[in-house]
Structure 1
Amino acid sequence: MPAHTFAAAPKPYTVDWAAQVDELHKRLDNARWPAQEVVPLDVSETDHNNAFGLGAGPELTLMKELAQGWRDFDQGAVQERLNSFNNWTVEIEDLSIHFLHHRSTRAGAIPLVLCHGWPGGFHEFLPVIELLTEPDSADAQAFHVVVPSQPGFAFSSPPKTAKWGMEDTARVFDKLMTGLGYDKYVAQGGDWGSITARCMGALHQDHCMGVHLNFCPVPPPFPLNQFNPRTLLNWMPRLILPDAQRAKVERGVAYLEKGSAYYVMQQLTPRTPAYGLNDSPIGLLAWIGEKMVPGIEDAAKHPNPTLNREALYLTLSLYWFTGSIGSSFLPYALNPHFTTFLTSPKYHLPNFALSSFPNELFCPTPRDAGRSGVLRWFKEADDGGHFAALEKPQVFSEHVREAVAALLSAK
């Protein structure tokens, strides 16, 4: 496929939601809180230990504390920070696509597109942009970094048809990269961004030289995939599934059983939660906070965490001020389940690398991950989880650098 030519050149974009801040503050100040905990707190120790994430959801005391934190969040400072990066928009296939674009000053820099998922956004990658474009070591590989907002997220317009799939997003991102002059590039992604990157690597091999993932759930092979995951886990002998890997599989099974209610709603009835979350900042806080708070609490055990409450408030602000929470459900609503992308030969990756972060929802072994494609590089991090670039920017950047070296040496 030939390189894309933009119908009109990209335009600089300025983040400005100052006019909406007062209304948000009024809504937070006038929140209608429940009179008591929705679910009483006298659960058994067994129930507490068996809960996933925040269990039945964030407790009332925590919610009020987070709401006050968002109310006090310095919106002017965060706008200034976002505008310190190179924001652009460009028209591609009747969509306005927002993206960050930072070119390295280093000779031999490699074009790299970073693809986000849900409930994140382009801002997840802010801590790694300088690490990737201008590394401290003169010998370290540098990158020209492009960070697009998925269609329907933040400042990118949503797709105008219910027939939009991740292949379409991948095609648009491929056009973005080649339109910027990057005929050859590497794609990186986690969460739904891993599916975007996977589609780029599998369907646009003429431009995408390789793919680095930090999220790669892999279903069991046949005939094991015919069994209920819990049954399979309980009966799998330790000779086949050692304790260390069993604990990782347990986390994935617990997520499926107890932590994926949002997934079902965003996939099957996305309009229903969208109305309430678009209208209520408290609802939005609970919906997204449920997903981010456990990681924030884990990150707080280490000094100077970059995944913190401020990162939660920034995420909330981006969804609130852009009114994009409903359209951010479209990857769930308009696409088949992850399994299709993971098992269909159409999406088999010819050249990919995988970083495994221990607190991720699914952590396959290299052998299992190899069923997704030709795995050239695999590395386990000591810490971190679903928001890898935000949680562990230094580790994430080092992994990307090592992975890309392995991917390109295999070409």
Structure 2
Amino acid sequence: MHTADVQAFDAHASDADLEELRARLAAARLPEAETVYGAPPGSGRWDQGVPLEDLVELVSYWRTTYNWRSFEERLDRIGQFRTTIDGLGIHFLHRRSTRSDATPLVMTHGWPGSIAEFVDVIDELADPSDADAPAFHVVAPSLPGFGYSDKPATTGWGTEKIAAAWVQLMARLGYDEFLAHGGDWGGNITTVLGGRFPTNVLGIHSTFAQGPPGLTTDGLTATEQRWAEETHDFWHQRAAYAKQQTTRPQTIGYSLVDSPVGLLAWIVDKFAEWSDTDDSPFETISRDRILDDVTLYWLTRTGASAARIYYESHDSLDPDLRIDVPAAITMYPRDIEKCPRPWARQRYRQLVRWRSPDAGGHFPSLEVSEYFVQDLREGLAAVLAVRR
């Protein structure tokens, strides 16, 4: 392990930055209430985005009650570090298991997530309360341009380069072979890891799967047909955010870095739409957990730099990429992209485990954390069983 290349990191916002955030929240200028068809409650309240009533309440809680210092303490308890790869500083959480049989695991988040997605599950993955459960040395990096990782000053930091950087990061920690997990962009990066680096990657677990282009719907089950239709509808009717961040991340970035309320609304809108809930994301995810994520974006001023991953990588997964390492895939019912199993098999050619649970959305580690941990363990155990 090249310990000289890895430095301990302490996340500590200044009191002045936190005071400025509260002052900006107090001085926020808000629009009038939304005009939507139908009476509340119900998902129709969100037809034009985050309802004013919900946002006002959340802004008040953020300004008067939310405790950022508690989140900083949790990050420090897990263990934070930084290292430089290809000239870019990379921040990561690293929790070594006390178990001698633990396997290294890199977990990659997406947008609008962050390492905040994993802080509640890392300890249980590293040192499970059940002695018979598998254990992992967990590494959770912040994507370039996200959180406490550096912001790329040039183009080129797309998913292929990030995957290669993760291989260097794991080797630097003494992990020449490792497992990989991810969802959203993290799932894309995990797919690239499995396809490009089979000598390093023991296997993968992902909540994202994407078959090669041009596959037929013939032979799909009724559920798989519905998945394909829902994914098509998402990208054609509900993906304006992705088009904006793919084509004009700098333009939206000014608002995301300058206005905490604008940043909050931009991100909470996705937690609401992409979670397995009837109305509010807070049915399954606490306000504190979502505010951990949003405040991390705010304090690190990464609204624009994080959005650029779409500019760098949107629709960039190599159509010819195939994954021959063992793969376990879980499709949560309220996720925004759900790939039919026959399509997934065309890319993930050693698909050893497939699950489609009854509950959960795009943020399963926050929405259904106990199931997420169990599913991740069982999926990776199936992967390792093939390797052995």
Query: TM-score under structure 2 normalisation?
Result: 0.91
SS in 2 for 1:31: coil
**Residue 64 in structure 1 maps to residue 56 in structure 2:** yes
User: Which of residues 361, 367, 371 is equivalent to 1:391?
Assistant: 367
Preserved CA contact (<8 Å) 2:213 2:319: no
The counterpart of 1:313, out of the listed 280, 291, 294, is: 291
Aligned to 1:33: 30
CA distance in structure 2 between the partners assigned to 1:389 and 1:244 by the alignment = 24
**CA displacement at 1:294 relative to structure 2:** 4.0
> 1:155 aligned to 2:133?
no
Contact 2:212 2:346 in 1 (8 A): no
Q: Structure 1 residue 11 and structure 2 residue 3: aligned?
A: no
Letter matched to residue 26 of structure 2: D
Instruction: Tell me the SS of whatever aligns to 2:78.
Output: coil
Q: Does 1:245 align with 2:224?
A: yes
Cross-structure match for 1:325:
303
Q: How far apart are residue 170 of structure 1 and its match? A: 0.7
User: Residue 21 of structure 2: which of 17, 21, 24 is its match?
Assistant: 24
Q: Name the structure 1 match of 2:109.
A: 116
- The correspondence of residues 86-235 of structure 1 with structure 2, limited to 5 A, is 86-218=79-211, 221-222=214-215, 224=216
Assess, with a 3 A threshold, how the Cα gap between structure 1 residues 370 and 250 changes in structure 2: closer, same or farther. same
Mapped partners of 1:205, 1:244: distance in 2: 32
Change (3 A) 1:349 1:329: farther
Structure 1 spans left out of the alignment, 5+ residues: 225-235
1:95-121 deviation per Cα after TM superposition (whole angstroms, max 9, x unaligned): 111111111111211000001000001
Q: CA deviation at 1:44?
A: 5.7
Q: Which residue of 2 aligns with 1:229?
A: none
**CA-atom RMSD in angstroms:** 2.5
Q: Secondary structure of 2:121's partner?
A: helix
- For the residues of structure 2 that align with 1:204 and 1:110, how far apart are their CA atoms? 17
Q: Provide the secondary structure at the position in 2 that maps to 1:346.
A: coil
Letter in 2 for 1:22: E
How much has 1:246 moved relative to structure 2?
4.2
Q: CA deviation at 1:350?
A: 3.5
Distance in 2, matches of 1:332 and 1:60, equals: 28
| Identity level (%) | 33
Name the structure 2 match of 1:54: 46
What SS does the aligned partner of 1:345 have? coil
Distance 1:95 1:177 in 2: 16
Q: 1:403 aligns with which of 354, 379, 383?
A: 379
TM score, norm. by length of structure 1: 0.86
1:88·1:101 contact (CA, 8 Å) conserved in 2?
A: yes
User: How many residues align structurally?
Assistant: 382
**AA aligned opposite 1:260:** A
How far did residue 410 of structure 1 move?
2.3
Distance 2:81 2:63 in 1: 28
Deviation at residue 193 of structure 1 after TM alignment? 0.4
* Matched AA of 1:344: P
